[in-house]
Amino acid sequence: MINTYSLAPIPQLRGFIKNIWIVENGRSNIVEKMIPFGCMDLVYVENEQVSYQNKKEIQFIKNDLFITGQVTQPYDLGYSANAQIIGFGFYPHTAHFFIQDSVFQFTNNVCRIEALFSCPDILERLREQTSIKNKVYFLEQLILSRIRKVKYKDKKHKYLTFLLKNMYQNKGQFDISRSQNDLKISERYIQSLFKEYVGISPLLYSKVIRFLNAIDIYQKNKIPLAELAYNLGYYDQSHFIRDFKRFTGLSPKKYFNTLPYLVEQFTTNEQCSLLYNSIIEK
Structural domains of the chain, ranges and CATH numbers in brackets: 3-147 (2.60.120.10), 155-268 (1.10.10.60)
Answer yes or no: are the C-beta atoms of 164 and 275 closer than 8 Å: no
By residue count, the chain amounts to 282
Contacts of 230 (CB under 8 A, 6+ apart): none
Answer yes or no: are the C-beta atoms of 107 and 70 closer than 8 Å: yes
CA dist 265 and 268 (Å) reads 6
CA dist 42 and 90 (Å) reads 8
Question: Which residue in 230, 201, 218, 211 sits closest to 172, CA to CA?
Answer: 211
Q: Where are the beta strands (DSSP E) in 9-114?
A: 17-24, 30-34, 41-47, 49-53, 57-61, 65-68, 75-79, 84-90, 110-112
End-to-end C-alpha distance for the chain, whole angstroms: 38
Considering the entire predicted model, what is its pTM? Answer: 0.94
Answer yes or no: are the C-beta atoms of 4 and 273 closer than 8 Å: no
* Strand 3-7, strand 17-24: pairing: antiparallel
Question: Which residue in 78, 5, 81 sits closest to 48, CA to CA?
Answer: 81
pLDDT for the residue numbered 16:
93
pLDDT for the residue numbered 53:
93
Tell me the pLDDT of the chain (282 aa) as tens digits: 899 999 999 999 999 999 999 999 999 999 999 999 999 999 999 999 999 998 889 999 999 999 999 999 999 999 999 999 999 999 999 999 999 999 999 999 999 999 988 887 999 999 999 999 999 999 999 999 999 877 656 789 899 999 999 999 999 988 889 998 999 999 999 999 999 999 999 999 999 999 999 999 998 888 999 999 999 999 888 999 999 999 999 999 999 888 888 988 888 888 889 888 877 654
pLDDT for the residue numbered 3:
93
